A = this chain, B = another copy of it.
Amino acid sequence: MTTIEERPAPTAAPLDTEALRRHLDGRFADLKERFRRQAPQDLFGPLDHLSTREHRDLTRERLRTLARWGGHELGYSSRWGGGDSPGGQVAQFEMLGFGDASLMIKSGVQWGLFGGAVQALGTERHHAELLGPLLRLELVGCFAMTETGHGSDVSSVGTTATYDPGTQEFVVNTPDASCRKDYIGGAAEDADIAVVFAQLVTAGEPRGVHAFVVPLRRDGNDVPGVTREDDGRKMGLNGLDNGRLSFDHVRIPRTALLNRYADVAEDGTYSSPIASANSRFFTMLGALVKGRVSVSGGALSQTKVGLEIALRYGARRTQFKRPGGDDEVVLLDYLAHQRRLLVPLATTYALSFAQDELMGEMDELLGVQLSGSEPDPARQRAFEGHAAAMKVASTWHATRTLQTCREACGGNGYLADSRLPQLKADTDVFTTFEGDNTVLLQLVAKGLLTSYAQQFSDLDTLGMARLATRDFVTTYAGRSPARSLVADVVEAGRVPDDLHDRAWQLRMLTDRERHITESLAKRMRRARSKPEADRFTAIDDLQDHLLLAGRAHTDRIVAEAFAAAIARCEDPAVATLLGDVCDLHVLALLEAEKGWYLEHRRMTTLRAKAITTAVNTLCRKLRPRTEELLAGFGTPRAWLASSLVD
């Protein structure tokens, strides 16, 4: 058991917080720093007390300011005035997350979802007509996928687009209220045009979900057959005008189909370069992945603001007299307060490094797509799984952490002036949109099962059990930069005395993922072999196991990303500090999961207790480093916009 006395003392030399910040900023550090220094300051500032009307008006105004300032065009092809840098565009979205989330999401609807769909699913005719105006905000769009009755299950949307060869038009129609497009940002007021996902029907054949460009307004008037409704007041994000759209046999030209992956000829003949309807559907959904990466980044930014407010408040707020003294104790000097706030601070660091890795993958893969080619399908699939896992992890982390921050600031944290209520309310829907977390986590787990099955399809159960761990890790870790590190670790197979041994920490997480996935695979095989009548229940019985597998996978990739970031850090003092932060993140995670580890005989009871002690010791050790760790976030003080911070 390691006590604080046995650990090296904090480095005497002052930490280079700029080096820490640049390292945390990662691949897009230059862009982020430019945004901090130069972005229009009227994008930021307090928002409490705004009515829905006022907040929508302010957000619209700020979106225009942002359109003039730029950055949103980065993700588009340079052929149309873009910057060929999808990562740069998402990095700017992440920076907007330090301000009003309504503006961030509003910009995401226009230039991420709507513009992104035109770019990714459309062809030259759409690009030439739409990209310029939408980048300049002369054309305001929305992204009409979700329906009232069909949230996560996009393949079941009920809106139809039926081809009429007589007029060479598609007829877009909403058969019933459950098929209204709903919660659509921009649909209540601002959008002139929509990308609508609908079931394409031609020559009497249903061809599955495709995307169409549908004008909602022409010369300031609503297009006949289009009905808009306002979703009204929401828990948060009230700067955004969410609404509902219904279509009553609205006619659009044949060329309104975004036809990169499928087309309909004048005579109604359907064609597609992708033979399988299923592959086609998932390729088109790939356009959504950037949205998930963006939400993950934005959630982390909002979390950083909340943590900084709560930590700065906790570092000056006193409560109760020190026993035997007359001074009062600073809140953050209490162990319970440190556990509440420093553990999520450490996890925010971990997720930020993992997010940066995801951004690197995305930038490469979308770069290929921008150039008109298709990325390697296996890499694309791995990236989609990675993005889903990070979206789940970051958004649930935001929900939990901002709740804790609110409570940690007591009555003050309940006042709108503190900004914490707004942060909490705005981010709350992040766990729901761009894929509900519970559904996404199951997709992550199913992805694990698929790669597991591909790898081991020719092995029997016993063979699988005997399989060296290394093979598993090599397969699962994929392109992770930490892969070789992990492989070394797993090979070594030893249990060190030191809980701060990074190799052991990663092995603990890898082993958990492996065991959970293997046992899930076996149970799933049994469930699938049941008679059809019992099959749904048999598979559904595994749902909690499936969710656990998704979590275990995410835990492992996040910790690996943190370890890799430390390994490549060139400033020794920064690396040492990050080492402690990583220890706190991983050991707090092992502590939270000790039930599983003990149950599966992966941890002795002595070690479980030692981990609790180590978490406490690390909290004490990092308490005096709080200021430096917050400096690593690099948030300009004015952006905090909270009455709790001077």
Contacts and interface: CB of A to CB of B under 8 A. Distances in A.
A128 B310 CA distance: 46
A300 interface: no
Contacts of A410: 151-152, 432, 436
A269 interface: no
A489 interface: no
Interface string A408-429: 0011011111001100110011
A227 interface: no
Nearest to A416: B233
Contacts of A321: 153, 156
Contact of A232 (B406, B415, B420): B415
A399 interface: yes
B235 A421 contact: yes
A616 interface: yes
Contact of A547 (B182, B324, B336): B336
A612 interface: yes
Number of copies: 2
Interface stretch (A68-76, A247-255, A571-579, A596-604): A596-604
Interface size class, chain A: 35 or more
Contact of A146 (B318, B411, B535, B539): B411
A80 to B, nearest CB: 32
A403 interface: yes
- Best-buried of A149, A231, A323, A595 by chain B (most CB within 10 Å): A595
- Best-buried of A48, A182, A429, A437 by chain B (most CB within 10 Å): A429
A233 B156 contact: no
A547 B616 CA distance: 14
Given A599-B605, A605-B600, A416 B232 contact: yes
Given A336-B547, A399-B403, A599-B598, A616 B48 contact: no
Interface string A139-154: 0000000100111110
Contact of A323 (B429, B432, B536, B601): B536
B414 A544 contact: no
A429 B414 contact: yes
The 5 closest A-B pairs by CB, nearest first: A235-B421, A598-B598, A595-B595, A233-B416, A594-B595
Given A233-B415, A335-B541, 17 more contacts: A48-B232, A48-B233, A49-B232, A149-B318, A151-B411, A156-B328, A232-B417, A233-B416, A234-B415, A234-B416, A323-B539, A324-B535, A407-B432, A410-B432, A414-B429, A594-B598, A598-B599
Interface of A: 48-49, 51-52, 146, 149-153, 156, 182-183, 231-236, 318-324, 328-329, 333-336, 339-340, 399, 403, 406-407, 410-411, 413-417, 420-421, 424-425, 428-429, 431-433, 436-438, 442, 532, 535-536, 539-541, 543-544, 547, 593-595, 598-601, 605, 608-609, 612, 616
